[in-house]
Amino acid sequence: MPQSSHRLKLDPTTQINYLLYLPDAYQREPQQRWPFILFLHGSGERGNVIDTVRTVGLPKRLEVMPDFPFIVLSPQCPNEERWPEQADKVMRLVDTLLPSLRVDKRRVYLTGLSLGGEGAWFLGALHPERFAAVLPICGRIPAVGGFPQQVCELKSVPVWVFHGAQDAQVPVENSVTLAKTLADCRGNVTLTIFEDGDHFCWGRVYENPATWEWLMRWQK
């Protein structure tokens, strides 16, 4: 089943766009419950044209992976906004959709790239009880009071961090600082730095089967 485009009215004044991916086997196997990934896109995909979200990162991969064994929700951040400002809306969207989907609620995961990497750090630390594992890529330290120390809220959640050493847009020191802070709190964190990688290194992550094998190791 291809990804579908929707608008969800959250309240009388606010709407949010999203893509929802269901594996082909979702309809064939009505008794199965599926792991769930919340994906947060980067700054270039902000706006109100949902098809732009399909062009980068995990949603792009899903266009050619009809049997990817996860349900994937990809909301769209409005122009000039950042994910920390949208956190409450995103979680309301998740809470609205999950009851209507056959989700394995022990296996709810969070990932994001660039702006979405920052969002994954922020949303994970804000709601550590909601996610079985978090996978931030090339994310900045959230520009919110309490960070980087706030990342210690994730100390009970497995986190795998990725960054390119040659990143000229979000310096790799952002991920190094967050990962070290979390490690100092005795968090379960792994940092992978691609020494020849630039800012656009997320293809290496989302195209690697080991990424999804690692996610599936964890459950609440």
Provide mean pLDDT across the span 81-106: 95
Check which CATH number belongs to the domain holding 36 and give it.
3.40.50.1820
Residue 202 has pLDDT above 80, yes or no: yes
The percent of residues in the chain predicted with pLDDT above 70, rounded, is 94
pLDDT at 64: 87
User: Which pLDDT value is given to residue 195?
Assistant: 97
Both ends of the chain: CA-CA distance in Å?
Answer: 28
Binned at pLDDT 50, 70 and 90, residue 7 comes out as low
The strand ranges marked E within the chain are 4-11, 14-21, 34-40, 71-75, 103-113, 133-137, 159-164, 189-194
Of 165, 60, 47, the residue nearest 115 (C-alpha): 47
Can you tell me the distance from the alpha carbon of 190 to that of 176, in angstroms, rounded to the nearest whole number? 10
Beta bridge partners of 110: 38, 134
What predicted TM-score, i.e. pTM, was given to this entire model?
Answer: 0.95
> Whole-angstrom Cα distance, residue 174 to residue 68?
30
Residue 12 has pLDDT above 50, yes or no: no
pLDDT in tens, 51-85: 999 999 999 999 888 889 999 999 999 999 999 99
Averaged pLDDT for residues 72-99: 94
> Does the pLDDT of residue 137 top 50, yes or no?
yes
The C-alpha atoms of residue 155 and residue 140 are separated, in whole angstroms, by: 19
Please indicate whether residue 8 or residue 148 has the higher confidence score (pLDDT). 148
Q: Is the pLDDT of residue 184 over 60?
A: yes
**Domain housing 147:** 4-216
Question: How many domains are contained in the chain?
Answer: 1
pLDDT band at 9 (very low <50, low <70, confident <90, very high): low
pLDDT of residue 11: 43
Structure tokens at 143: 């520009």
Q: Crossing angle, helix 83-97 and helix 115-126, to 10 degrees?
A: 60
Q: What is the DSSP letter of 5?
A: E
Alpha-helix runs per DSSP H in the chain: 25-28, 57-62, 83-97, 115-126, 173-184, 202-206, 209-216
Whether 175 and 201 have beta carbons less than 8 Å apart is answered as: no
Span of 24-33, 36-45, 180-189, 191-200 with lowest mean pLDDT:
24-33
Q: What is the pLDDT of residue 13?
A: 43
Mean pLDDT computed over every residue of the chain: 93
Q: What average pLDDT does range 189-217 have in this prediction?
A: 97
Based on its alpha-carbon atoms, the radius of gyration of the chain, rounded to whole angstroms, reads 16
Q: Residue range 134-148: average pLDDT?
A: 96
Q: What value, to the nearest 5°, has the Cα angle with vertex 63 and ends 35 and 31? A: 30
- pLDDT tens readout for residues 13-57: 457 899 999 999 998 898 999 999 999 999 999 999 999 999 999
